[in-house]
Each structure stands twice: as C-alpha cells, then as structure tokens.
Structure 1
Amino acid sequence: MASLDSRGLPLSTSSDLAVERYRTGVDLLLSAWPGAAEALDEATTADPEFGLAHAARARLHAIRSEPAEARARIAAASEAVAHNGSARERSHVEVLSLAIHGQPARALDRALAHLDDWPRDALVLSLPLGAFGLFAFSGMADHDQARVDLCEHHARHYGDDDWWFVTYRGWSHAENGALEHGRALAQRGFELRRENANAAPALSHALHEAGAGEEAERLIKGWLPTYDRSGPLHGHIAWHAALVALDRGDTGRALALYGEHVQPSVSKGMPINIVSDATSFLWHLQAYGHEVPAGLWQAAAAYAAPAFPKAGIAFADAHVAILEASAGDRAAVGRRVAALAALAFAEADYAGCVHRLRPVAREVVRIGGSGAQREMVEEMLLLALMRSGEAAEAHALLDRRLHRRPSLRDTRWLSQLAA
C-alpha cells in the first residue's frame, strides 16, 4: 500500500495498517462519525512514531473539549515529525498545535499559508471552516464571505466528487446568502457520503435559510436513526427538527425531540453545541408563548456552568448569559458580556433590553456560529422592540429579516406584531 492519505498526500510511515487506519480515522473525524478515536488509536499503535496520526487524535480531543489530552497528543505529534516528518507534516502539526494551545489568530495565518502550498490537506482546511472554525471565531464581521472565498480559491484542487469539500463549500455558500447554489452543493455532498454528519446539518441549514423547514424535518426524520447517539452532532441535528416542529405549532413533538436528543443530560455532543442548542430551544419555546417545563432552564444552566466557567468565547458567553438569566441566577449572569441584555429580557425590562442590544445588533455576526444559531439574539431584540412599544423599529427589523429569508418563524413574529 502506498503511504498516501485519502487525498494523495504522502505520509511518513512504512506501516500499511497505520496508513489504512489513519485514512479511515480522518474520514470519520471529518464526517463527525463515531469510530474516529478507535481508528486513530490503532494507527498510532501500529506505528507509534506516526506523527500525523497523533495530530489527528489531538484534533479530535480538542473538538471534544478535552484540552489536556489534546495538548499531550499534539506534543507527541510534534516530537514525531521533528524526527521523522516531511515539511508538509511539520507544518500541519504546527498549525494544529497553535490552535490547540489557544493561539487562533496565529493558527489561522499559518493555516492559510500552509494551504497555499498543500491545498489538499483537508484536516488543515477544516480549521478555518464551519460554524465554530477559526474564521467564525476570529471576530471578523465578514467571516461568512471569508469561508466562501477560501473554498473557491481551492475548489480546483478538490473538484465535484470530494464529499467533505463539497459539503463545506455548500454550507459556506448557504450561510453567505447564496441559498440555491449552497443547497445544491450540500445536497451533492450528502449524496456522495450519507454517513456524514456534517452533510445532514449543512443541508438542513440551507433548507432552514430557504424557509423550507418541513423539508428539513423530513430529511432529519429519515436520516437521524442511521446516526448513532454517540455521534457528536446527533443532538444538534435533532435540534434543527425540534425548532421546525415548534415553528409549525407542534409543541409536543418539539419537547419530545428536546427531551430525547437535545437536552444536556442525554446529548453526547460538544459542550458548545449542547449549551447553544439547549438555550436556543428553550428561549424559542418561551418566546412563542409556551411555558418552559419546570427545571429545564436550571438543568441547562447547571450543565453550562462547569463547561464554560468563565467568559472568553463570545458565542458561548451569549448563550450562557441567556441560560443564567432565564434560570434566575443574577449573581452568575454578571460575569458575561451579554448578561445585561439577557437579564433585562428575562425580567421583562424590554426597554432596557432594547437599550443594550440596539447598538450591537448589527455586530452579532462577530460572535461566530451559524446564522440559525445567531438569530436568537436578533429575535430577542425584535420581541423586546414589540413589547416596549417600538413598533416602527420592530417593523423595519422584521422587513429586513423577511427580505433575507421568509420563514414560518418570521410569519409568527409578523402576526405578533400585528396584534
């Protein structure tokens, strides 16, 4: 077996088993599919000096919010490639090491430079992409466009048949407003590899943005049973379906999906997904005029507290602030940047909420995440405007939303505003 990865790049190992397990492990990692850890561990067992296998395992630890394990693995990778690694492998490990050691700006710069030399290094290309990637969490206002530009710059190196690249290219276009093109690409990525948990939400996001919520719900209903509950995006994909059910008024179905797949006590996802999904669902449930069942706010806040004990990640801070405010924890909420607006809304001080959110509403994109995840903040401002008597401004905000993406949710807000 030639020592090449899945995209034809040389690997510094003479072990056929290590190569095969590495290829499998990286593909499982890039598809957010169970089994990646086991495959990569088998690769390093077959060749303990195989640096890139250690690096991929470090990346998986980082995704799972296991920083100590990630640092230990990337240290092993760095040592291995220093003694037995190509220039590409040393650069690959350096990029991952910067990201793992909390230097995202340097990691982004090095990743972009690395990709100019080795554009088919998919694991490095994955770092700037996605809702929680280096672009999204850079603080850039135009990170949606930056992802599209990066994908288009390297598209000729991947073509139309690389399931991973086509999926992320489609998601990037859909997030940036090119819904028809993005949806078509995401659909192709999904068809190329259905055992790809990044394709299902990519297509669901595109459908959501196009106002095709019921189609997204059918997609998820048919696909989710094929994805093991241990998969890191299982709960997040169910969250999409729960919001669609809530939109069409099926509160029982929405709560059942939340209880079975999304709430912190059952989800096996990444902490940032668990916190943001729980917050978004419970907030929308309440905003739509339904009572949140006793204990759900408090349970979500109890999970979030040790997962994000201090402020630092703006996307997480915004969601944790809403959880803490809604759970009535005034002491905790003061630690978060978004605390005062969230607390004002939770305490029905809608004018105060407007006062705090209005100046920053157009900058919310800077916190990262996807459009579907960020819209809760915009909707908080919309509801606060309605309830504080600022009808003209509420109409203007709603008109902008409807122009951008008509949906059942916007129709709901329109009927509330008319009332």
Structure 2
Amino acid sequence: MQNMSHAATKYSPLYFLASLGMGGLSVTFFMYLFFWVPHPGQPVPVFEDVWPVLTGGTLLQQAMVLIAWAGIAFFAFHNIKLLIFNLRKYAEFKRSEGFEAFAQSNAGSQVLAMPLALAMTVNVGFILGLTFVPGLWSIVEYMFPAAIVAFLAIGYIALRQLGHFIASRLHSGGFNCSANNSFAQMLPAFALSMIGVGLAAPAAMSTTIVTSGISLVLSTFFITAAVLLALVVLVMSIRPMLEHGVNVEAAPTLMVVIPIMTVIGIALLRQGHGLHVNFDSHTTDADTMMTLTRLLSVQVLFGLFGLAVMSRVGYLARFVTGRETSAGSYALVCPGVALSVMTQFWLNKGLVAAGLVAKFSVAYWAISAVAVGFQIAMIVLVWMLATKHFRPLPQGAVAAA
C-alpha cells in the first residue's frame, strides 16, 4: 500500500496554506538579498548583483548569500511540491460525495485558499528567476505583461469562486452566522490582496508607462476589494465571537489580518515607487515610514489579540504540540512570516530611509534580528506541522482512515 499522510487521508482545501507558508518562507530569505546586497540600476537584486558578493565579498557576506540561496531554493521547491499535491487532492475532493455539503456550508469559502497559493507561487517563481537566472533583467519588460496575465487569470478564479459562494448564500441563504465565530471568512480577502500585490510588481519595476499604468489600475482594484471584504468580515464576525466564544479550531484566523497588512503594505510601496518613477508623483520617506508604522501597529495589536485568545483556549497544546490535528494550523505560519517581512520593510524602507536608524548599525542589526527570529520560529513551526500532517501513516492507520 502506498504510504499516505494525514493530509492525504483527511484532505481539506486549507492545506493550500502549507504551500503558501513555504512560499512565504522563501520570500523571507530573499529579504536578505533585497536589503543587504546593493543593487544599483534596478529596484530588486538580480543574479549579477549577488554573484560578485558571493565570489569577492567577506566570509560573512558569502555565508549570507549561500544561506539566502539555500533558503530560497529549498522552500520554493516545497512550495511548488505542496501546490501540486493540493491541486491533485483538491480535484479529487471536488469529485467526492461530501463536496456539495462542504460547498454549501460556511467552510465553502476555504476554496479561495487555492488562488491564494497560486498567486504566491507565481511570486516565488519570479524570485527564483531574479536570484538564479543570469541576464533575466534584460528581458524583464517582456515578462511583466505575462505576469499581469497570469495574475489576472488567478484573479478570475478567485472572483468566480467568491462570487459563487456569496451569490449562493444571497439566493438561498444557509450561512450560519452563529457559527461564524472566527475570522475564517477573511481568507478570500487574503487571496485578493495576494493577487493585488502580484499585480503591483510591474508598477514598481517596469519603465514602460503603459505597463506600469495597467499594473497600478489592476492592483488597486484587487487591493480595494480585499480591504472592503476584510472590513465586512471583521464586523460580521465580532458578534458571534462575543456571543458563543471563538471557534477553537479556527482560532489561528484571528491573526489573518497580519499577513493581509504585510501584503497591502508591499503593494502600496510598489505602487508608490511606480508613481514616482513613471508618473512624477512624490512621497517622502517620512510618509513611507509612518504608513509602515501604522500597518505594523495593526499587526502587533492583532498578534497580541490572537495569541491571548489561543493561549486561553489552549490551541497550541491541542493542535501543534498535542495529538489533535487541524489543517487550519497552517494559518499560524502566515502571521509569523508576514511579521518577519514587514519588520524588514519597516526597518529599511521606513526607519533607515527616513534617517532614524543608520544602515548596518547596532540598532539596525538588533531590529533585523527580530525579523530573523520570526523567520526561524516559523521554520520550526513548519517542521512541526509537516511532521504531524505529511509524515506517512502506518498502514493500519491508513486503513482505519
């Protein structure tokens, strides 16, 4: 009998978050190159920027590049591997007898985890190209339209899934408001924001005004939709949580606002850069610092809120270190990854750019250590979750499942 894992035998679309988390960790290693390697001439580091550091830099710089390359490649591989696993299992799940009941329940919105993971993988693919493909920047203007088309295709899937979920509830009802005692319905907003940040990339990096302008318009649409949807879910979820308490298994969703804020923050930075370079619109470094500080403040508040609730209901002891399993546990990876990335942006694009912290000073490395700390913690968490969810089960356990 083929070895099967818990994720394979008890599949849920939320396992797309496993692929998402791997992609996010790949991004955290790209932050090393993005902020610690000079890249004059283009807004992101490419192979030609990194290679001289690897071959002619100090031993510490060479070690940093090797760690970054290894981290990017390792987690990108698992991002793609888990995406393929999920696409196969999701196709089987859609043909199963229980799919219709799932689709008609509150959990039906979980299908938006698929376009969320797809959008992340497209971003990861771009990072792989920048990092490992020599000469890529010379043809990058031809890649931007293709990237826009790819993200629009994913956006179509997301809007179609979301439209079907909402239209079905508005037509025949069936949404259990009392069971909406978490932020689980925030997942579609997360998916739309991930598509929006991908669409914003050409706005920042393209020197073709038409490409940049199209990117600005389309990314604004998806980011606006994500914000509106997140606000609606935030309001409609508070009352059932106060009346019935938090759904313990969905407790990690209380921190889903954290990755949404990071994604929106990066999208705003990309749009701002594109407006500055291509449309002569200017934002001061102090403005950027304050925008990032506000977003980080929201993240810290929701992080404290989520951790306090999870501690009270004993979530970690049950579903992470304990014997119980829940696909929703992978939602814990996203906030930690998002805080790591946002801390890097807040430090470099905010504090350093505004002149508050000197680059590579003691204070700089102290704050960078916080970002790396979140990164390491999430790597440990991913390893723990992978052991629980993707380790092959004994044949007897598979037969029982």
Shorter-chain TM-score: what band?
0.3 to 0.5
Larger RCO (alpha carbons 8 Å, 6+ apart): 2
Answer 1 or 2: which has greater helix percent.
Answer: 2
TM-score normalised per structure 2: 0.34
